[in-house]
Amino acid sequence: MTDQEELRRRVADFLAVHDPRSTPAMGWLQARYDAGLAWVHFPVGHGGLGLPRSLQGEVDELFAAAGGPDNRPRVNMIGLGMAAPTILAFGTEAQKKRFLRPLWTGEEIWCQLFSEPGAGSDLAALGTRAVRDGDEWVVNGQKVWTSGAQNAQWAILVARTDPDRRKHAGITYFLCPMSEPGIEVRPLRQITGEAEFNEVFLTDVRISDEWRLGEQGNGWRIANTTLNNERVAIGGRPVPREDGMIGIVARNWREHPERRTPDLHHQLMELWVEAEVARLTSIRLAQKLAAGQEPGPEGSAMKLTFARISQALSGLELELNGADGLRYGDWTMTRPEEVHFLSKDAGHRYLRAKGNSIEGGTSEILKNVVAERVLGLPAEPRFDKDLPWKELQR
């Protein structure tokens, strides 16, 4: 029996016992995880069966067709797309047992405490300090642009534990409970009127050493695993042809022939080709991941392309709408539970797309990553690379 046939049999056996129409949603998700049918490529005992990653899509489709509940992937994108693979790669067995199940079921939502007011593009310059105090770490600092922090129970956190070492070497990675005293979450209102993002202040926050992920001082290496997965999660997932922004603009073009001009036609054709190239490249990346390889710098290229095309298409949509493109619906201050890149109206899409070239790594930094790690070009001069962090100008 092939892996695919065995997997189908397991799904059928599971559904025979756990009917989604009569089983409470959370209980159904927990049972699916325990059966190894959550992340099928994860190890046995951690929501998977150790099967090829390429089979994940089929499992998800079979359960969706049966009416199975989902695990709120849009709400917990950071947990599912970034925290989980990092915990799997670097966590202890106790950490994997503690975190992966409630993370996958959506019982615990995660956020990311990486960027700081003075350390965004140059994340290694971060200044949030973690000082050892017995079996705990005392953390003080400020993080910014934290998506979903208002809803999160846990965070992935990088903090400086050794200011005497060079900036990349003195960082440690933690799993931070967001309910700890001393954590304050403040909304950051965006140009759309919403507040998806937050600034987070940490004042004498105590984190048990059992929630340190990996060795002390190895945080930069671990954070790069998170960032590579983040870029794939944002801009590297395979989609159907004419999905997303290109589909919205193409439908607009077909439904409103009176809006067409030769110049707009030329712009649309160029962007349609670029969107199709990006789609096919994302399929290639998915094939690499399905073969068991970890995401690398090509995820940066995909995220860079996604941001550029998304912004260009949202601008073209406004031009196609003419004067109606200047309309903007509701600018009420809201705290959305999940991000809707394509929802609402054209004005919202245009304004929200401005964030695409910042979140998940700025486009400028991603160009450096592609230039150095894909094209093999000389590295940008970094005069502070080997200096102790405490000697850096800030």
Residue 236 lies in a domain: yes
Measured CA to CA, the distance from residue 89 to residue 213 in angstroms comes to: 10
* Owning domain of residue 75: 3-105
Q: Which of 199, 230, 298, 317 is catalytic?
A: 230
Residues 43 and 182 in one domain: no
Nearest residue to 271 (alpha-carbon basis) of 285, 250, 257, 251 = 250
Residues 7 and 84 in one domain: yes
Residues 227 and 367 in one domain: yes
Residues 253 and 204 in one domain: no
Residue 391 lies in a domain: no
Residues 208 and 270 in one domain: no
Residue 384 lies in a domain: no
Please measure the distance between the N-terminal and C-terminal CA atoms of the chain and give it in whole angstroms: 61
pLDDT in tens, the chain (394 residues): 688 999 999 999 999 999 999 999 999 999 999 999 999 999 999 999 999 888 898 999 999 999 999 999 989 999 999 999 999 999 999 999 999 999 999 999 999 999 999 888 789 999 999 999 999 999 999 999 999 999 999 999 999 999 999 999 999 999 999 999 999 999 999 888 889 899 999 999 999 999 999 999 999 999 988 987 776 666 556 678 888 899 999 999 999 999 999 999 999 999 999 999 988 888 887 777 666 666 667 777 888 898 999 999 999 999 999 888 878 777 778 888 777 777 788 988 999 999 888 887 788 888 888 888 888 999 888 778 788 888 887 7
Decide if 93 is catalytic.
Answer: no
Residues of the chain with pLDDT > 70: what percent? 96
Q: Under DSSP, is residue 201 helix (H, G, I), strand (E, B) or coil?
A: strand
Token readout for 204 is: 């004498």
For the domain that residue 121 is a member of, what is the CATH number? Answer: 2.40.110.10
Give the type of residue at 48. G
Residues 162 and 292 in one domain: no
Measured CA to CA, the distance from residue 208 to residue 211 in angstroms comes to: 6
1-4 LR contacts (CB < 8 Å, sep 24+):
3/51, 3/52, 3/55, 4/55, 4/58
Residue 388 lies in a domain: no
As beta bridge partners, residue 183 has 202
Token readout for 153 is: 């129970």
Exposure pattern of 150-183 as b/e (b: 16+ CB <10 Å)?
bbbebbbbbbbbbeeebbbbbbbbbbbbbeeeeb
Residues 35 and 63 in one domain: yes
Residues 191 and 241 in one domain: no
Number of Cβ within 10 Å of residue 389's Cβ equals 22
For the domain that residue 101 is a member of, what is the CATH number? Answer: 1.10.540.10
Paired sense of beta strands 154-160 and 171-177, if any:
antiparallel
Residues 206 and 233 in one domain: no
Residue 23 lies in a domain: yes
Residue 380 lies in a domain: no
pTM: 0.88
Residues 186 and 308 in one domain: no
Q: 238-287, pLDDT tens digit by residue?
A: 678 888 899 999 999 999 999 999 999 999 999 999 999 988 888 887 77
Domain count of the fold of the chain: 3
